[in-house]
Amino acid sequence: MLVLLRPFMRQVVFRAARPHSIAATRYRSTLAEDVRSDSTFRIPLIDFAAYKQATSLAEKRCIADDIVNGFKEVGFVYLTGHVIEPETVNRVFQKSAEFFQLPQETKAGLAWDDPKANRGYVQVGRERVTTSLDAAEIAALRAKAPDTKESMEIGRENHPVFNNKWPQETNAPGFKQTMLHFFQTCHEVHTMVMKSIALGLDLPEDFFDNKIDRQDHNLRLLSYPPIRTSLLLGDGQARAGAHTDYGTLTLLFQDSIGGLEVQNPHTKHYQPASPIPGTIVVNAGDLLARWSNDVFRSTLHRVVAPPAIKINATEGMTPARQSIAFFCNPNFDAIIESLPSCTSTSNPSKYPPLTTEQYIVGRLAATYS
């Protein structure tokens, strides 16, 4: 069950089994209580416009507390009232689809080849997302059950060492300009949400500003091609395997097909995070969980195949799916150590300090073949 919280201080229930029905049921229970059961599990929807329009710190703190509670209890929130216009998102999806329709040899010429750069095209089967940190184990999983998706990875354009791998303008008109504009817009959303997180953790609102300002983020365009259902029946097969994300936040833009599932941290069962038009799915990543001394959850999630279209008596074909993920990261030289408001004498830091680069590059190097 997906329950949307606080759009104009109301609580509305979206039931996964009937995605187009809305029951105006009021809940008196708290988010912490509801997530303990699969039947009442909910991902809060937060109207972020109220934070941007707030005229006092107290008004901001109200929304900040909702966001922090969502990351504490679920690790995910739906965000509405953000600054990204639907037309902008639609154009990104259009240009992404046009890119993946290019000939395979054209895309292969832009192949991802360096975990430090983390830029370029990743063909179907090359990646295997997982929670494992062991390169040999990941290689075995990749050989047995690779992720059935392709992606294009884009970093900040002004990096002093690494260059993005752009297709020729004649092959993909408007692609570069569209993605660079979207990258900047997503960074602005990230900065604002991190301000709210700082307030919710009893820190100055600008606490994270100089730790995320270099835009060491990653924009990932994802294409899940149609696939026969028989190919998804093997042990461990999935569109994208269960995993957590690496950075601070992930901003996910879904199409209408669906397939994203979030693990209930208490029951360990997966629940659908169904697409809600106009929203961004935002989840906390490993580094934000580590920064918060595990006050926040970096929650397992996966992508499963939506219902297939039957093509004969024994076989079906899944529809194609697109998504856009913006992986928000701290500056690569930022030291990630437990925040002062998240530690105490009775709750000391669980992790030694490390840099963003040490963590993310290590995970990427093990993830790809």
* CA-based R_g, the chain, Å: 20
Q: Which domain holds residue 330?
A: 84-367
Alpha helix locations (H) across the chain?
31-34, 49-52, 57-73, 86-100, 104-108, 135-144, 175-200, 286-291, 356-367
pLDDT tens digits, 41-66: 999 999 999 999 999 999 999 999 99
17 found inside a domain = no
**Which portions of the chain are predicted below pLDDT 70?**
1-28, 126-147, 230-240, 368-369
Q: Is residue 355 part of a domain?
A: yes
Residue 196 lies in a domain: yes
CA distance 52 to 60: 8
Residue 271 lies in a domain: yes
Q: Residue 77's pLDDT is what?
A: 98
CA 233 to chain CA centroid, nearest Å: 26
Report DSSP letters for 136-197, one per residue. Answer: HHHHHHHHHS--S-EEEEE--TT-SS----PPPTTTSTTHHHHHHHHHHHHHHHHHHHHHHH
Q: How far apart are CA 208 and CA 33, in angstroms?
A: 30
Tokens of 21: 């029905």
SS3 content of the chain, % helix, strand, coil (to 5): 30, 20, 50
Whole-number pLDDT of residue 15: 36
**Is the Cβ–Cβ distance between 306 and 319 less than 8 Å?**
yes
pLDDT (0 to 100) of residue 42: 95
In-domain check, residue 19: no
Residue 132, domain member (yes or no)? yes
pLDDT for position 26: 46
pLDDT score recorded for residue 317:
82
Question: pTM for this one?
Answer: 0.85
CATH of the domain at 115: 2.60.120.330
Q: Residue 275: inside a domain, yes or no?
A: yes
Query: How high is the pLDDT of residue 138?
Result: 46
Q: In a 3-state reduction of DSSP, which class is residue 264? A: coil
Alpha-carbon span 103 to 149, nearest angstrom: 16
Q: Tell me the C-alpha distance between 164 and 176, whole Å.
A: 10
Residue 52 lies in a domain: no
Domain count, the chain: 1
Residue 287 · residue 329 · CB < 8 Å = yes
